Amino acid sequence: MITVEQALEHLFSLVSPLGSETVPLAQASGRVLAADVTATRDQPPFAASAMDGYGVRAAEVAVGAKFKIIGESAAGHGFSGPVGPGEAVRIFTGAPVPEGVDFVLLQEDCDRFVNTITIDSDPGSNANIRPAGNDFAAGFTLNAPRLLSPNDIALLAAMNVPLVQVTRRPDIALISTGDELVMPGDTPGPDQIIVSNTFGLKALFDSAGAKTRILPIAKDHPASIETAFDLAQGADLVITIGGASVGDHDLVSAVAQQLGMQQSFYKVKMRPGKPLMAGRMGDAVMIGLPGNPVSAVVCGNVFVLPVIAALQGFAPAPRTRLSATLTAATPANGPREHYMRGRVDRGQITVFDRQDSSLLTVLSEANALILRPADDPARDVGDLVEYLPL
Amino acid sequence: MITVEQALEHLFSLVSPLGSETVPLAQASGRVLAADVTATRDQPPFAASAMDGYGVRAAEVAVGAKFKIIGESAAGHGFSGPVGPGEAVRIFTGAPVPEGVDFVLLQEDCDRFVNTITIDSDPGSNANIRPAGNDFAAGFTLNAPRLLSPNDIALLAAMNVPLVQVTRRPDIALISTGDELVMPGDTPGPDQIIVSNTFGLKALFDSAGAKTRILPIAKDHPASIETAFDLAQGADLVITIGGASVGDHDLVSAVAQQLGMQQSFYKVKMRPGKPLMAGRMGDAVMIGLPGNPVSAVVCGNVFVLPVIAALQGFAPAPRTRLSATLTAATPANGPREHYMRGRVDRGQITVFDRQDSSLLTVLSEANALILRPADDPARDVGDLVEYLPL
């Protein structure tokens, strides 16, 4: 058996970043920037007023000073002439600051009478002007790779980037295996259950940027598994679920190897999720996840999400661990790393009592996988533990 | 001026939950469940083996005991006959436990010779059987409203729910206003800048479950603003950006009121974001956000996300605040609630130095809005402060 860390190293050795594609800015949120983007202009492109008020010469600012209003600078429509001594322009937020102006009086600090203003309150020392390039200057660069947030999208818009080069979304083919499985909406026989893993994992992988296809369920016959692999053609990542343990009916590994898969590893020293396999199959990476629902989701979180990130161009790395304090004592762990289901709320984490790897009801209430290292001693209430957010 | 809390109360009074629609399970992640879903079957539907091994009678389990293998129970193919004294069935993980069996011996605890097994290690007291209904029983209910996570999707699949009733996605129309704005990809005039708010807010609102349309930029003329409101027809939420302050060129409120908007409020005691308006306009709720990029995003986070949640059927409530400890001292706050940009990492939060509301470069590095109440005193390094995640 190998450790989770070793298994991840093996997986990363199978993966190289995908190519890129160009998408409209409005579709780029949640995608990964594939190439640096450099601003070709300053923002703001001109010194701009930060307030609604009157633009004047700073040297003349004093309580009681009077100015003659000679024009107006509005957003989109600047004042063209210079502003001289004793003169003011009405100016609005975001408007270009005219030549000669280096101070914007707030309108609430002035008394206006027809075309004259008098400063009637101390305007303070803040000039209320945003210099050209205050936000960014031409040459400012947003570096790739970067997971584009909504605020990055706003920034790219301000940089006048209508099209964005992003990494192609990983094409994932998901194959559930097992004679016991039927699709939701079907009528299961007395020995059958409804397939659940593919639906949960598709949602998880898509939320991480992938484009996941659920393939037909493969039965426990070599021909059925071959058919499923055939339908997976073109995928960057082929993920099978179930059929990866050592039982007499576990045919997936055998069929995959016949089809040319070079197997990387087979068992990982973890709970839940021990049976796991991976290898290259033609142009695709193949990962075999265990069939227990919770084991499949844990392995999806621990192994597949980092692989999706690496395919999207990020440096290969395990998921970031957070930490929180235990709300109750928890007993010592055994020899395998344990990913326990629990719930974190404002820094306090509760390990659920029921940890059986078949319990989707428990999993759906969890928002964290608490990480117990191999042979971790018993932990007390208030102890700091690490977790992965779900 | 009113407080943020009062403004939210006003907003919630304008909102009622949207109707529902039925979507395929594979498209339901991230949507809000609109009606309770009740399981019509037990999961597992039969007592199932938790391991690969041999099913026997518990009363006969002892080191040295021998059993004759009389058949096999695999996942999807149970063993039909009863199992008598001295008999065993080969059984696999997930397979139905046959009549007469109440203990599954792990295969590694047995020595097999042709059709006979002998227990050669202490099998312990765990029967390795998951009783019928161990995960959920018929009648188990997933309650609405609930934001469906990937793991909820897996649970709904296991409950045999192929179609899910979810709240309709809020239709949001976004209108930027201002003669100074051009679309990304256009060539701005010397006094113009690129519109950024609509792109950032669309990404934010869509990630919260909305379906956001960016409408053409409205110029600072009543006719142009009317045209934009006309294009917004059918939206649940019409959001204007800019033109909501008291400047001479702020026409949005005037035009909206001519079109029948009943205005709810106008100014909120907060930084950034003071100018804000809201009201009902026909069947839609209208919200006017300030035009400064950061102010618009802060108000989008503080006001619009809770409105989107309420439209999707959640009980109206402000966003949940988290807390973290300051990495550096920060000066006292003024009389308005301040939402400061910063970055949180493992419970430590850093308030950025540059807080001007025009800085998208600073915003794109932020992942938190630190909440400073009105007249909050100076805070020291290590003090606990509240924040909203971005």
Q: A321 by DSSP, 3-state: which?
A: coil
Query: Could you tell me which CATH number the domain at A322-389 has?
Result: 2.40.340.10
- Structure confidence at residue B333 as a pLDDT band (50, 70, 90): very high
User: Positive or negative, the Cα torsion across B215, B216, B219, B224?
Assistant: negative
The pLDDT value recorded for residue B244 is 53
DSSP category for residue B109: G
Average pLDDT over every residue of B253-268: 84
Q: Each residue of A191-205: pLDDT tens digit?
A: 999 999 999 999 999
d(CA A89, CA A99): 11
Omega cis (within 30) before B145 = yes
Question: Out of A252-261, B96-105, B143-152, which region has the weakest mean confidence (pLDDT)?
Answer: A252-261
Does B354 touch chain A if contact means CB atoms closer than 8 Å?
A: no
For chain A, counts of helices (H) and of strands (E): 8, 28
> Taking a C-beta distance cutoff of 8 angstroms, is the pair A28, A153 a contact?
yes
Chain A hits for B323, CB-CB cut-off 8 Å, are 346-347
The pLDDT value recorded for residue B247 is 57
Average pLDDT over every residue of B185-208: 96
Are A192 and B346 a contacting pair at CB < 8 A?
Answer: no
Average pLDDT over every residue of A52-62: 95
Of B25, B92, B158, the CB nearest to A247: B92
- Structure confidence at residue B273 as a pLDDT band (50, 70, 90): confident
Nearest-10 Cα torsion for A272, A275, A280, A285: -30
Does B271 touch chain A if contact means CB atoms closer than 8 Å?
A: no
Q: Domain A20-43+135-167: which topology?
A: Molybdopterin biosynthesis moea protein, domain 2 (3.90.105)
- Structure confidence at residue A261 as a pLDDT band (50, 70, 90): confident
Per the structure block, which two tokens stand in for A380? 């007390």
**pLDDT surpasses 70 at B368:** yes
Average pLDDT over every residue of B167-190: 96
Chain B hits for A184, CB-CB cut-off 8 Å, are 25, 156-157, 160-162
Does B94 touch chain A if contact means CB atoms closer than 8 Å?
A: yes
Q: Each residue of B99-139: pLDDT tens digit?
A: 999 999 999 999 999 999 999 999 999 999 999 999 999 99
Nearest chain B alpha carbon to A42: B193
Q: Each residue of B180-195: pLDDT tens digit?
A: 999 999 999 999 999 9
Q: Domain A48-130: which topology?
A: Molybdopterin biosynthesis moeA protein; domain 3 (2.170.190)
A324 backbone φψ class: left, alpha, beta (φ>0; ψ -120 to 50)? beta
- Structure confidence at residue A244 as a pLDDT band (50, 70, 90): low
**pLDDT surpasses 80 at B238:** yes
DSSP category for residue B74: B
> Taking a C-beta distance cutoff of 8 angstroms, is the pair B201, B193 a contact?
no
- Give B69→chain A minimum CA distance, Å: 15
Does B80 touch chain A if contact means CB atoms closer than 8 Å?
A: no
**pLDDT surpasses 80 at A274:** no
d(CA B292, CA A135): 12
Question: Out of A208-212, B4-8, B272-276, which region has the weakest mean confidence (pLDDT)?
Answer: B272-276
Nearest chain B alpha carbon to A354: B135
* Domain chopping of chain A, boundaries: 4-18+168-311, 20-43+135-167, 48-130, 322-389
DSSP category for residue B61: -
- Structure confidence at residue B243 as a pLDDT band (50, 70, 90): confident
Are A93 and B46 a contacting pair at CB < 8 A?
Answer: no
d(CA A141, CA A137): 9
Average pLDDT over every residue of B213-240: 95
Question: Out of A256-260, B55-59, B111-115, B212-216, which region has the weakest mean confidence (pLDDT)?
Answer: A256-260
Between chain A and chain B, the number of residue pairs with CB atoms below 8 A apart is 288
B382 backbone φψ class: left, alpha, beta (φ>0; ψ -120 to 50)? left
The pLDDT value recorded for residue A275 is 77
**pLDDT surpasses 70 at A249:** no
**pLDDT surpasses 70 at B249:** no
Of A44, A161, A52, the closest CA to residue B293 belongs to A44
The pLDDT value recorded for residue A81 is 84
The pLDDT value recorded for residue A245 is 53
Nearest chain A alpha carbon to B186: A160
Chain mean pLDDT for chain B: 94
Of all residues in chain A, the percent with pLDDT exceeding 90 is 87
Residue with tokens 């093996």: A10
Q: What CATH architecture is B21-42+137-167?
A: Alpha-Beta Complex (3.90)
Average pLDDT over every residue of B276-282: 89
Interface probe, candidates A297, A320, A360, A363, chain B, greatest B C-beta count within 10 A: A360
Q: Each residue of B6-36: pLDDT tens digit?
A: 999 999 999 999 999 999 999 999 999 999 9
**pLDDT surpasses 80 at B254:** yes
Of all residues in chain B, the percent with pLDDT exceeding 70 is 98
The pLDDT value recorded for residue A250 is 65
- Give B128→chain A minimum CA distance, Å: 11
The pLDDT value recorded for residue A243 is 73
**pLDDT surpasses 60 at B62:** yes
**pLDDT surpasses 60 at A248:** no
Q: Each residue of A109-154: pLDDT tens digit?
A: 999 999 999 999 999 999 999 999 999 999 999 999 999 999 999 9
- Structure confidence at residue A304 as a pLDDT band (50, 70, 90): very high
The continuous run of DSSP H or E covering A116 comes out as: strand A116-119
Class of domain B4-18+168-311: alpha beta
